[in-house]
Chain A
């Protein structure tokens, strides 16, 4: 139902979410982010270009890392959200709490600025 592909580029760890994240699959997202943090990546990008759906369980995963990332001075930036997915973040006002950019280059730029 959801696949998370990983690739490393210029020191960024990029997690590409493909499919739908709901209460049954949010754990996959959680594990993928935890693995990236565990491997020592400081700048993590979440590619949402192929994310078709996210429910509160998935949003809760992103929320649950906000404090940890702040404490450890790690940066996470989401990019490529489809309008219907971006709307879900907006309804809850999460766009202000998370780092979200339109494209990969802008996401890298923001991650670099925030981790400088």
Chain B
């Protein structure tokens, strides 16, 4: 069983993505802290895609799919078309650098890599699929 939620690439739609994740995972994740972590990691991934790959163009579409696997594993897939934004090619910046440069970005990638067990990318035709896995 796969749960799907599709949005236009506008930052205003992040709230809908978070509500979809909370609604789908409730009953599977019993800790508020862990549920929030998963919501956070996916919000960060979608924000990055919306901003960097789609320049906040609401006509571009992005889909989040959630699948429950055996062994308490959940697989999240973020599917879009366009230029790929591969977080594995980015190093998490040093915190002291962020403070000195007064940068407001760069923390999200660190969060995703810390929270998720794996982040992988594949292509299917024109589609980029970012697959994140998490053992509950």
Contacts and interface: CB of A to CB of B under 8 A. Distances in A.
Q: Is the interface of B mostly helix, strand, loop or mixed?
A: helix
Contact of A23 (B14, B98, B100, B110): B14
A53 B44 contact: no
Nearest to A86: B33
Interface residues of A, number: 29
B12 A24 contact: yes
Contact of A64 (B37, B50, B103): B103
Interface in B85-107: 95, 98-100, 102-107
A60 interface: yes
Interface residues of B, number: 32
B18 interface: yes
Contacts of A64: 102-104
A23 B107 CA distance: 12
> A-B pairs with the 5 shortest C-beta distances?
A60-B104, A24-B11, A56-B107, A84-B36, A56-B108
Interface of A: 1, 20, 22-24, 26, 30, 53, 55-57, 59-61, 63-64, 66-68, 83-85, 87-88, 91-94, 97
Interface of B: 11-12, 14-15, 18, 32-33, 35-37, 39-40, 43-44, 47, 50-51, 95, 98-100, 102-108, 110-111, 114-115
